[in-house]
Amino acid sequence: MTSSVPITPAPKSGSSFARLLLIALLLAAPPLLAVAIAFMPGPLTDAKTIVVAHGTRVSSIAATLEQGDIAYNRYIFRLAARLLAGDQLKAGEYAFAPHQSTADIVLMMRDGRSVVRLFTVAEGLSSIEIAHMLQSNPALTGDMPPAAEGSLLPETYRYSYDDSRAGLIVRMQKAMEETLSDLWPKRDPGLPLKSPQEALIMASIIEKETGKPEERPRVARVFYNRLAHNMRLQSDPTVIYAINKGDGPLDHELDHADLAFNSPYNTYTNDGLPPGPICNPGRASLEAALHPEPNDYLYFVADGTGGHVFSNNLVEHNQNVTKWNAMKAQENVPPGVKPAAP
């Protein structure tokens, strides 16, 4: 029997939409799963550092991370790099933490959050000694440009792997120029200095004469007092620099022949300041040269404790020298042997 009520078929559009949605979800599952894995803790168990050279392709970075157990899968890393960084990853040295996620690694490399290294220049080093340090640093690149003595400010400088040696030198020179420009206008009145360069020269001598911060302004005034009395500075470090030009320590103690060494840097044989700095002085020595303490001392000699004893006349100074020589003799006597009385 045939019904007289017509049967209306279900609309095809709804079923087609559901079918398409299901297909889309099935197709999207692998990428969605990959994204989920990218945000999961990574496989790395111990901290690790790698260097990404300039021009390295994303595929090569991904392979390196996978092989190093830093990322789970190179293809997931490449997908994350495409989605989160547009494949723009920066070269550099990167330190990865244990279980760091692939997504975090990508963002780190996108932003260039590479390892920050520190290069420390101690006060009183010569330019050639600093050059040796830079040249022997394997994390730096390029040739060493010449740097005038005294032109580099001792300080701790931040740098990254593959930075240039020339770039660090420029930063040190700029730091010294800025420091001198800041300190020179604030100098004490009446100092016998004609220019910032002369202040730099005096500071370099002070730097090499004493390592005690509290002595620097005192030593500065001794040299100014000697200049005011038309006395030669007679600074041993200037003789050492005259002989070796700052390339390491002497292999012997200064003797009378050394004190007569023919050089404009020798302040035993020449009046006034030497023609240039004898090292790269720090800010404290520059300040001491521009703000010496008031005193009438003309001489000083080591006191055996790392400091110096000061005097304002030659008789007292010679007595202090005798004491110092006796202390040195005591140090050089073999155990169980009593030194002769001075």
Q: Is 21 helix (H, G, I), strand (E, B) or coil?
A: helix
Q: Over the chain, what is the mean pLDDT?
A: 88
Q: Which residue has the higher pLDDT, 100 or 306?
A: 100
Q: How far is CA 192 from CA 66, 183, 228, in A?
A: 67, 16, 8
* Residue 16 confidence class, pLDDT cut points 50, 70, 90: low
In this predicted structure, the answer to whether residue 7 has a pLDDT above a threshold of 80 is no
Domain ranges (residues) in the chain: 35-111, 117-180, 190-332
In this predicted structure, the answer to whether residue 23 has a pLDDT above a threshold of 90 is no
Which among 275, 268, 188, 191 has a CA at the least distance from the CA of 228? 191
Tens digit of pLDDT for each residue in 179-223? 999 999 999 999 999 999 999 999 999 999 998 999 999 999 999
* Residue 248 confidence class, pLDDT cut points 50, 70, 90: confident
Calculate Rg over the CA atoms of the chain: 35
Could you give the angle at the alpha carbon of 155 between the alpha carbons of 202 and 286, nearest 5°?
20
DSSP 141: B
The predicted pLDDT at position 47 comes to 96
The predicted pLDDT at position 12 comes to 44
Q: What's the rounded Cα separation, in Å, for the pair 143 and 141?
A: 7
The predicted pLDDT at position 19 comes to 53
In this predicted structure, the answer to whether residue 18 has a pLDDT above a threshold of 70 is no
Contacts of 232 (CB under 8 A, 6+ apart): 226, 267, 268, 269, 270, 271
Asked whether 47 and 69 are in contact (CB, 8 A), the reply is no
Tens digit of pLDDT for each residue in 288-312? 999 999 999 999 998 888 899 999 9
Topology of domain 35-111, CATH: Dna Ligase; domain 1 (3.30.1490)
Asked whether 317 and 248 are in contact (CB, 8 A), the reply is no
- Of the candidate ranges 21-35, 210-224, 314-328, the one whose mean pLDDT is the lowest: 21-35
Q: What's the rounded Cα separation, in Å, for the pair 136 and 151?
A: 20
Length in residues, the chain: 342
Q: How far is CA 264 from CA 107, 237, 245, 260, 267, in A?
A: 58, 13, 12, 11, 8
Exposure pattern of 116-125 as b/e (b: 16+ CB <10 Å)? eeebebebbb
Share of the chain above pLDDT 70, in %: 87
In this predicted structure, the answer to whether residue 6 has a pLDDT above a threshold of 70 is no
In this predicted structure, the answer to whether residue 251 has a pLDDT above a threshold of 80 is yes
Tens digit of pLDDT for each residue in 76-89? 899 999 999 999 99
Q: What's the rounded Cα separation, in Å, for the pair 126 and 222?
A: 23
Tens digit of pLDDT for each residue in 33-63? 767 778 999 999 999 999 999 999 999 999 9
Count of beta carbons in the 10 Å neighbourhood of residue 133: 15
The predicted pLDDT at position 119 comes to 97
